[in-house]
Chains A and B, each alone.
Chain A
Amino acid sequence: MLGLAILLGYEFIGYIARHFLGIPLPANVIGLILLAISLFCGWVKLEWIEKSADFLLKHFMIFFAPTIVGTIAFFARIGDEWVAISLSMVGSAIAVLLLTGWSTSWFAGKEETK
């Protein structure tokens, strides 16, 4: 439970940073960045959060399920344009995957040989 409290606490800090400091990132992404920094600096010990984090991450997929079910409401809106939409979405996703993969390998390789 301590782990969950820490995770929720960091998300809450992210929420405050978003709303009161105007940082244009979602609260959970700000929380992720801040928790990573805290781990590297030793402010938060891995043992405190590891169990809760492992449980949540093991079942990460379930948390997206309701949002995907929610796309049901947009099927009518997508309806008339579905060919253009699916071709572009799939085409662009494949392009991003391949280009990112190749360029990252290339940059990583170049650094290695230095």
Chain B
Amino acid sequence: MTQLKELYNQPLFGIALTVLFYVAAQRLNLRWRWLHPLFVTAGGMMVFLLLCDIPYESYKVGGDVITFFLGPATVALAVPLYKSAQVMKGKIRAIVAGVIVGSVCGLVSVAFLMMSLDATRDTLLSMLPKSTTSPIAIELARQLGGTPELGGVFAVLTGLFGSMFGPAILHSARIRGNIAIGTAIGTSSHGIGTARLLRDSEVQGGISGFAMGLTSVITPILCIPIYWLI
């Protein structure tokens, strides 16, 4: 048993498990388009770890190596952004305006909903920055007086929701066009939503990456008046 434990405390365990589940999820997604690969990969691994009684800390050793590549991958969003410049030309002001409207809406709607549902103050403050990328959400949750890690969790889950259901929600609301779709997904569900768009459209992914970067700059500025209120 101790030998087994040594095995899954190696980085190789977490890396191999993630890649394996990801490849399987890709296959399943080819067959059933509605099965979201990230949901299947992460959900499958959660069930696997729980069933085999493997502590998250052991998985994390290798998981962190995979997460490391989120860094260069995010930088790489500059490529679709550059390629969609032609489409965005002359629409920059519309995108910026949309991101500002969306970011304000994100903060106000969380505060309104959480207050009407009698949530605790700490949870509310941690959820406010949920539409930004997780490193920013963690930092903002800290500054607002919430729980930083919880802020990161809310950001990731919001991103996953937008990635899974965002395109369908926009479609049913008759929101069409690369500009509107890219801006809406990037503003509401940052990198995880952007990853979903990139699977089908480089242009939408590029615009979404742009909106994501902009949301990360605008939301902290919008949070400044909240410090005065609380």
A residues whose Cβ falls under 8 Å from a Cβ of B: 4, 7-8, 10-11, 14, 24-29, 31-33, 35-36, 38-40, 46, 49-50, 52-54, 56-74, 77-78, 81, 83-85, 87-105, 107-108, 110-111
A11 to B71, CA, bound (A): 7
Closest to A74 in B: B153
B194 close to A107 (CB less than 8 A): no
Contacts A63-B73, A95-B105, A97-B185 given; indicate if A24 touches B67 (C-beta within 8 A): no
Name the prevailing secondary structure of the B interface residues. Answer: helix
Which of A7, A72, A98, A105 is within 8 Å of B46, CB to CB?
Answer: A72
Hey, what's the 0/1 contact readout for B68-79 against A, CB within 8 Å counting as 1?
A: 011111111111
Which of A26, A32, A70, A111 is within 8 Å of B91, CB to CB?
Answer: A111
A28 close to B63 (CB less than 8 A): no
Name the prevailing secondary structure of the A interface residues. Answer: helix
A107 close to B94 (CB less than 8 A): yes
- B218 CB, min distance to chain A CBs, angstroms: 11
A29 close to B74 (CB less than 8 A): yes
A29 to B75, CA, bound (A): 7
Hey, what's the 0/1 contact readout for B57-88 against A, CB within 8 Å counting as 1?
A: 00110011011011111111111111101000
A102 to B220, CA, bound (A): 23
List, in ascending order, chain B residues with CB within 8 A of A98's CB: 169-170, 173, 175, 184
B56 close to A60 (CB less than 8 A): no
16 extra interface residue pairs, beta carbon distance < 8 Å, beyond A35-B75, A68-B157: A11-B72, A50-B79, A53-B78, A61-B22, A62-B66, A63-B73, A64-B156, A67-B156, A68-B38, A70-B153, A70-B156, A84-B113, A95-B109, A100-B184, A103-B98, A104-B97
